[in-house]
Amino acid sequence: MDFQLTDEQLMIREMAARFAENEIARAANSLDEAELFDRNSFQAMAELGFTGLPWPEAAGGAGGGFVGFVLVLEELSRVSASLGAALWAHVYLAAWPLYTYGSGETKRSYLKALIDGTRIGSGVLPGTVSGSTSLRIGVAAREEAEAEEEGYVLDGVQKYVLGGTTADFFIIYAETGLSKAGRRKRYSAFVVDRDCPGLVIQPVTKKLGLRSAGMAHLKFTQSRISKRQRIGREGQGGAIAKLAAASVRYGLAAVAAGIAQGAADAALAYAKERTQFGKPIAKHQAVAFMLADMRTAADASRLLVYQAAHHEDSEGAADDKMSGMALAFAADASMTSTIQAVQVFGGYGYMKEFAVERYMRDAKAVQICKGLELAVPKLPRRKGGRHRHGHG
Least confident of 161-165, 304-308, 361-365, 388-392: 388-392
Q: What is the pLDDT of residues 33-82, one digit of tens each?
A: 999 999 999 999 999 999 999 999 999 999 999 999 999 999 999 999 99
Domains and CATH numbers, the chain: 7-120 (1.10.540.10), 123-236 (2.40.110.10), 238-371 (1.20.140.10)
Confidence of residue 182 (pLDDT cuts 50, 70, 90): low
> What was the pLDDT predicted at 126?
80
Instruction: Collect all residues with Cβ–Cβ distance below 8 Å to 146 and sequence separation of at least 6.
Output: none
Q: What is the pLDDT of residue 152?
A: 87
Percent of the chain with pLDDT over 70: 85
Three-class SS of the chain: CCCCCCHHHHHHHHHHHHHHHHHHHHHHHHHHHHCCCCHHHHHHHHHCCHHHCCCCHHHCCCCCHHHHHHHHHHHHHHHCHHHHHHHHHHHHHHHHHHHHHCCHHHHHHHHHHHHHCCCCEEECCHHHCCCCCCCCCCEEEECCCCCCCCEEEEEEEEEEECCCCCCCEEEEEEEEEECCCCCCEEEEEEEEECCCCCEEEEECCCCCCCCCCCCEEEEEEEEEEEHHHEECCCCCHHHHHHHHHHHHHHHHHHHHHHHHHHHHHHHHHHHHHCEECCEEHHHCHHHHHHHHHHHHHHHHHHHHHHHHHHHHHHHCCCCHHHHHHHHHHHHHHHHHHHHHHHHHHHHHHHCCCCCHHHHHHHHHHHHHHHHHHCCCCCCCCCCCCCCCCCCC
Lowest mean pLDDT among 136-150, 154-168, 237-251, 319-333: 136-150
Task: Tell me which residue of 93, 110, 98, 216 sits closest to 163, measured CA to CA.
Answer: 216
The one-letter code for the residue type at 16 is A
pLDDT digits (tens, 9 = 90+) for 194-237: 999 999 999 999 999 999 999 999 999 989 888 899 999 988 99
Confidence class for position 282, pLDDT limits 50, 70, 90: very high
Q: What pLDDT, in 10s, does the model give residues 292-338? A: 999 999 999 999 999 999 999 999 999 999 999 999 999 999 999 99
- Give the mean pLDDT of 88-102: 97
* 106 touches 231 (CB < 8 A): yes
- The pLDDT score that the predictor gives to residue 135 is 35
Query: Whole-angstrom Cα distance, residue 359 to residue 73?
Result: 15
Who has greater pLDDT, 19 or 373?
19
